[in-house]
A = this chain, B = another copy of it.
């Protein structure tokens, strides 16, 4: 799974063979667990979504909800390029994300909503920003960074503008 995550994160058009090679196992071993490349892609996407969700849940326990919210936002945007690439490879293969990936996605949104509420209570995010538009911003920043192939510096400057819009008015 780690090999698959590496390979597909870099080049979603890679073959199952490439995955097996990096994992140092025979291709038969990969196919014993995943009947098709689509199944393998789905498993990798689910793993990525679960990791992001777990990071959100971990940050939700933070004593400092403001930085926790912004750290999570930054992390999702930074990692979006490979996650989106995998999701798009699935779509191109004619497959929708399976139930497990959708469940991980739901868990991620819930955890993000929790981080937002806590950051608002702490006065780090304006109280009048609601989940739908803040989530839309997260998706937009992720897709924008990916589509425009932003270098990290421009990405961080874009995020700084977004964060200023999310902070309470003075």
Contact = CB atoms under 8 A, between A and B. Distances in A.
Interface of A: 129-130, 132-137, 139-145, 147-148, 150, 154-155, 157-158, 160-166, 169-170
A148 B135 CA distance: 9
A122 to B, nearest CB: 18
Nearest to A170: B170
25 contacts: A132-B154, A133-B154, A133-B160, A133-B161, A135-B148, A136-B154, A137-B144, A137-B161, A137-B162, A139-B147, A140-B140, A140-B141, A140-B142, A140-B148, A141-B144, A143-B143, A143-B144, A143-B147, A161-B162, A162-B165, A163-B165, A164-B164, A164-B165, A164-B169, A165-B165
Given A144-B141, A144-B143, A150-B136, A165 B157 contact: no
Given A164-B169, A166-B165, A139 B148 contact: yes
A135 to B, nearest CB: 7
Nearest to A132: B154
Given A136-B148, A143-B143, A143-B147, A161 B165 contact: yes
